[in-house]
Structure 1
Amino acid sequence: MNKTKDTTTESNILNAAKHIFQQKGMMGARMQEIADKAGINKALLHYYFRSKQLLFEAVFKKAFSLLAPQLNEVINDDSSICEKIKNFSHNYISFVIKHPYLPNFILQELNRNPDFVQDLIKEKNFPNISKFKKQVNDKVADGTIRNIKAEQLFINIMALNIFPFVGAPLLKGFINIGDKEYNQLIEERKTAVADFIINAIKINK
């Protein structure tokens, strides 16, 4: 076997794996169907990625490398807090709609493989909220927004954006709707989340 890994083959594998993972999740996906989707044999797939876990991590890192710079830019640009909240929610939800395996994978790895998450945090473009924290503290001090810790506000933003994806099966049951109706709700949350948070922290003068 040629020991030089071809970037085109590797890219085809990652695209095929992304498609299968989106359809069946980490547990439901099989290496053979990923190989079939990529148009290669299983032995070659294992040459590029020794295990399904390593392949899943590679797919995740590729997607996260696209998301992280977007979020980091939103958090650290010169826009207002309200604009940051709007842009963060819109960008995050839009991205995860295209990569729905991301939130569940993060939760899975937090519990199973914390070292993988620590490696992500060390990445160059991992979001840094220092500027956001100072901006929030300044706006609290001048009375523009309600007295809230920046960390609590950021957790609220993350929680309201992430949970509808990781809790989708449960939420569909609670509100008794199908996939089509739920997907519409997710689309609406691109603005609904930001409106809710902004109304909660804004002081009307």
Structure 2
Amino acid sequence: MPDLAPDGGGPESRKRISPREVLIDATGALMRERDQLEIPLIDVAERAGVNVALVKYYFGNKRGLLRALLERDLDVALVQLQSLVSSEMSPADKMRIHLAGLVALYFKHPFINRLILKMAKEATGEEQREITDRFLRPMVNAHHKIFEEGVRLGEFRSLNPFLFYINAVGACDQIISLRLLVALVFGIDDISEDLKRRYTRHTIDFLMNGILLP
């Protein structure tokens, strides 16, 4: 079985996770490597080292597997974000941490935005509303609360929170979504840890300079 344990764990780490978790890990890993969402289940099962029938056993179908991937990758981040919103920190510090968290999320799971939107687009009625309320709305609402608190306390400019949110998500995700351009034009095939740190600092400074009052 390939080494799919978090943080590069070896055989002992793999023994501690179930086939269900290994299938989720394999799906995310293949999406990152291939930079695409359409991963055949047979490839997922082969990477996981399990029978493809286990997808139906654990998740019902491929959509259930993708839903489980979203839950794994976003639930903890959303809980942390809610904790940040309710903390006693200044709005400016909250926003900096929030933006750094967005960049880190997109670096770790570069497919995440595309996957949420794909699942929402393909869903209808109640399922679409549930996906929106579970994965999309909490992030937007938390961002707006931090922003509105900053305006109320005189730390931020009174800008349109919707437009700032779109700017923020685009900036935090940009170097990831433009990986091919980065490679072809700038000759950077692999984004190093140093570049990640510099991009995170640059993005936070760029966005914060646009909203902080003098």
Query: TM class, shorter-chain normalised?
Result: 0.7 to 0.9
Q: Which residue of 2 aligns with 1:162?
A: 173
Consecutive unaligned residues in structure 1, runs of 5 or more: 1-6
Deviation at 1:163? 3.3
Q: Which residue of 2 aligns with 1:135?
A: 149
The superposition leaves residues 94-150 of structure 1 with CA deviations (integer Å, 9 ceiling, x where unpaired) of 2222222212212323433366553234339933336324313314xx4x4333233
- Highest Rg: 1 or 2? 1
Normalising by structure 2, what TM-score?
0.73
Deviation at 1:31? 1.4
1:90-109 alignment, distance < 5 Å: 90-109=100-119
Cα distance in 2 for partners of 1:68, 1:37 equals 29
> Could you say which structure has the greater relative contact order, defined with CA pairs below 8 angstroms and 6 or more residues apart?
1
Instruction: Indicate if the aligned counterparts of 1:132 and 1:150 stay in contact, CA closer than 8 A.
Output: no
Cα distance in 1 for partners of 2:145, 2:174 equals 25
Q: Which residue of 1 aligns with 2:4?
A: none
Segment drifting more, 155-164 vs 124-133: 124-133
Q: Please say if 1:10 is aligned against 2:20.
A: yes
Cα distance in 1 for partners of 2:78, 2:43 equals 29
Distance 1:159 1:179, change over 3 A: same
Deviation at 1:84? 1.8
The superposition leaves residues 3-34 of structure 1 with CA deviations (integer Å, 9 ceiling, x where unpaired) of xxxx823222222222223223321x221222
Distance 1:201 1:156, change over 3 A: same
Q: Which residue of 1 aligns with 2:11?
A: none
1:25-64 alignment, distance < 5 Å: 25-27=36-38, 29-64=39-74
Cα distance in 2 for partners of 1:52, 1:23 equals 19
SS in 2 for 1:180: coil
Instruction: Indicate if the aligned counterparts of 2:81 and 2:98 stay in contact, CA closer than 8 A.
Output: yes
Distance 1:137 1:8, change over 3 A: same
Q: Which residue of 1 aligns with 2:32?
A: 22
Instruction: Indicate if the aligned counterparts of 2:55 and 2:61 stay in contact, CA closer than 8 A.
Output: no
- What amino acid maps onto 2:84 in structure 1? V
Normalising by structure 1, what TM-score?
0.76
Q: Which residue of 1 aligns with 2:162?
A: 151
The superposition leaves residues 156-197 of structure 1 with CA deviations (integer Å, 9 ceiling, x where unpaired) of 222211233334334554x43332258754432222111112
Distance 1:57 1:86, change over 3 A: same
**What percent identity do the matched residue pairs reach?**
18
The CA RMSD over aligned residues, in Å, is 3.0
SS in 2 for 1:155: helix
Consecutive unaligned residues in structure 2, runs of 5 or more: 1-16
